[in-house]
Amino acid sequence: MSEEVKFVPYDVARKIVGEIVDEEHLHEPDRRVLTVYGVNGKEICWFDTEELMGELDIKKMDKDKAKEVAVEYVFNHIPVWAVEDMVKALEKNAG
């Protein structure tokens, strides 16, 4: 039985994500990924670009709209497990 993935709230993701970069997969040259980096410069997680485009039906959108939709999706799908330490630090600094 697998656990359901939990995501950080959108507003928290906006505070901890520093950059989302479309880049080549490290081990598969013909595969693209959206790599999410934290404000600390460390990699948080990544999303398969082709899967994301298919899921969001991005191929039918113009480039700017597609980017906007993909970024919003990413901000709403940052797994809690990937950023637990960053969230704790954020809460500690806020309190």
Inside any domain, residue 4: no
In-domain check, residue 2: no
Q: What is the pTM of this model?
A: 0.84
Does the residue 77 lie in any domain?
Answer: yes
Q: Is residue 1 part of a domain?
A: no
Task: List average pLDDT for each run of 10 residues in the chain, which is 95 residues long.
Answer: 86 95 85 93 94 86 88 96 83 74
8 Å CB contact between 7 and 72: no
Give the domain range for residue 52.
Answer: 10-94
User: Is residue 64, in this structure, part of any structural domain at all?
Assistant: yes
33 vs 46: CA distance, rounded Å: 6
**5 in a structural domain:** no
Contact 16, 24 (CB under 8 A): no
Give the count of domains, the chain: 1
